[in-house]
Structures are given as structure tokens and as C-alpha cells.
Amino acid sequence: EPNGSSVCLPCEKDEYIEYPNDFSKCLGCQRCREDQVELSPCRATSNTQCACKSGTFCSPDHPCEMCQKCRPWCPQGEVELAPCTPHSDRQCGPPTGTVSGFSYNLIGIIVVAVFVPLFVLICLWKCRGCCCPGELQGTPAPSGGSAWVWAGWEEGPALGEEASQHHFHLPGAGRDLSRKYQRGRTEMEDNFQNERILVPVQGEDPVILLRRSFEFFARDVPYKDWKRYGRALDLLENDIVLAELNDKYSLEPFFQMLNTWHNRQGMNASVNTLLETLRRINLGGIAKDISSKLVQQGYYQYEVS
């Protein structure tokens, strides 16, 4: 109010006043720094509006002495939740609807804390009453003889002899161990029997016997496994397709497929290769049946080691 006048004069260039006041002069306009861009120029009623350049920011909660660079990208496993702006950095975090790393760690700790003790308790419960392996204990029997308690995985040298003369007693866990042991021995013997080598009977032509065996393979191998079996024998797709051109509702395609295999292998063709291929494609039970039938038919016999 110069000279006592009550009329306010407009601000000069590079000066501004945003609202009526008792100041004796206007305020100087702000100049944008080199790391800023001008959004709007200074006016008589508003200051210059500046902002950080693209890729940089200044937090509005603190005086902006210098613009800081935003994150160039989010770390692996995180996504961008909010872009970089002149007033905030790029915000990153786990994808929406997923569990954070801290939650994964917490879940892992809970699983370990719950299931490990439970697993230990189950093992202790199953092993209750177990004895030392290989231990053979003798206790008097009510009849005055000897009752043998077998609690191991190996038979004693006189176990068979004693069992034939005295009562054989397997109480509690010992009986279970004995059954598992006997079952394991039976399975091992079956596998050994299943994988024994076949040799042609003496006095017969091996080539003729091999071709005769094709009938057993054709009857026992399921129709749905024919193609899989042919591929396992290293037959080409064309060989399998040509075999299918025969009567599909008979065994002829399978015979044709085995004949093609036989012609390709020549002197290397063997019934043991056919059996081993069945085992390799998880048809070991069928291989065992065919092997037994070939022996019973008198075509082959088991090789004596």
C-alpha cells in the first residue's frame, strides 16, 4: 500500500502472490533446477510449477533438494504395482493373489514343526517291540521242549533242524518280520524265475521254434499294447502301419510285425529279446506267463547256470 493507498498493485515480472496479504512486496518466482522440467510458468497469482524429469522422483514428504533415480525394473519374482512418477519411486511387490516370501517361509516352518514330530512318532510306533537283527533266542516251551523265537532277517544254521523237532514260535513283531522276510524271498525267487534265460530244446531248429513262439506272444500281449511293443522292438512306424493293413480283427497284424522284426534281426533274433522287451514296457507278468508256456510246450528250457 504505497502512499497510504488501499489499492494493491499487481506483481511485477518474475514475482507472484497467491492470496491477499499484508506483505509489502511480492514473492520471487521459483526457477526450475537442471534435473527438473517446468510444468507451468510463473504467473502473478501462482508460482512456477516444477517436477522431476522422467525416470526420477522427489518425495513430497521431504524437501526436494535433488531428484533421485527410479528403479529401472522390479526384482525377479515381483511385478510392478505402481509406475515411477515425479513424486514416487516405482513400486514393486509379489503378484496379486500370490503368497509373499515371508508367508512361504512361515508355511514351511509350520509344516516342518507339525509333520516331522508326527513322522518320528509313527516310526517309533511301528518299530515298537522290534529286536536286534539276526538274534535267535531259545525259551522253554510248555511241553518241555524248546520254543525258538526268531527276530532277525537271517536263518540260523540249525533253524531248519530245530523247527522240525520243536515247536516254532514267532510272537508279536517277530511273526510280522518273518512273514515279510518270507514274502521278500518269494518275490525274489519269482523275479529270478521270471528273468531266467530260455534256450531251445536240443534237436530242434531254433529258427522254427522262435517262429512258433510268435503265436504265444500274439495271444497273450494285449491288443492295446501291440504298437507300443512294436516301437520297443525298434520297428519303424511304417512297419507297424503296414502290419495293420492286414485283417485288424485277427492276430495276423501282430504276426506280421514280429516277422518284420525277425527279418531285421536275422541271427540276432532271440525269444529272450522278446521277453525282455515285455518286461521293459512293464508287461513282466505277461513275459512270465509266455516263458512258462514255452517251457511247458517243450519248445524251450531254462538255461542251467
The 3-state DSSP class for residue 141 equals coil
Q: Any residues with CB less than 8 A from the CB of 245 and at least 6 apart, and which? A: none
Region class of 189: left (phi > 0), else alpha (psi between -120 and 50), else beta: alpha
Give residue 213's pLDDT. Answer: 93
Percentage of residues in the chain having pLDDT higher than 70: 71
Q: What angle do CA 234, 299, 239 make, to 5 degrees?
A: 20
Among candidate residues 264, 260, 190, 197, the one with its CA nearest the CA of residue 226: 260
Decide the pairing of beta strands 146-150 and 168-169: parallel
Q: pLDDT tens digits for 211-226?
A: 999 999 988 999 888 8
Q: pLDDT tens digits for 145-178?
A: 443 443 444 444 444 444 444 444 444 545 555 5
Is pLDDT larger for residue 305 or for residue 298? Answer: 298
CA 193 to chain centre: 34
Cβ-contact 150, 159 below 8 angstroms: yes
Q: Report which secondary-structure segment, H or E, holds 303.
A: none
Q: Using CA atoms, how far apart are residues 208 and 280, in angstroms rounded to an integer? A: 25
Q: pLDDT tens digits for 54-97?
A: 999 988 777 778 899 998 888 888 898 899 999 899 999 888 76
Q: pLDDT tens digits for 117-146?
A: 888 888 887 776 554 444 444 444 444 444
At residue 113 the predicted structure's pLDDT band, cuts being 50, 70 and 90, is confident
CA 159 to chain centre: 46
DSSP string, 42-92: -BTTBPPEEEEPTTEE--TTS--SS-EEPPSSPPTT-EEEE--BTTBPPEE
Q: Any residues with CB less than 8 A from the CB of 156 and at least 6 apart, and which? A: 136, 150
Decide the pairing of beta strands 56-57 and 68-69: antiparallel
In the chain, the N- to C-terminal Cα span, in Å, equals 125
The residues spanned by each domain of the chain are 136-193, 197-302
The 3-state DSSP class for residue 159 equals helix
Give residue 169's pLDDT. Answer: 45
What is the dotted CATH code of the domain comprising 197-302?
1.10.533.10
Query: What totals of helices (H) and strands (E) does the chain contain, helices first?
Result: 9, 13
Against a cut of 0.85, is the pTM above it? Answer: no
Is pLDDT larger for residue 214 or for residue 193? Answer: 214
Is pLDDT larger for residue 196 or for residue 51? Answer: 51
Give residue 166's pLDDT. Answer: 43
Cβ-contact 198, 298 below 8 angstroms: no
Q: Using CA atoms, how far apart are residues 88 and 261, in angstroms rounded to an integer? A: 73
Give residue 144's pLDDT. Answer: 43
Interhelix angle 206-220/284-297, rounded to 10 degrees, is: 130
Q: pLDDT tens digits for 10-44?
A: 888 889 988 777 777 888 998 999 999 999 999 98
When the pLDDT of each residue in the chain is averaged and rounded to a whole number, the result is 77
Give residue 161's pLDDT. Answer: 42
Give residue 114's pLDDT. Answer: 82
Q: What is the CA radius of gyration of the chain?
A: 45
Cell numbers found for residue 293: 508256456
Give residue 148's pLDDT. Answer: 40
Region class of 28: left (phi > 0), else alpha (psi between -120 and 50), else beta: beta
Q: Identify any residues that bridge with 49 across adjacent strands, giving them in sequence order.
A: 40
Give residue 170's pLDDT. Answer: 43
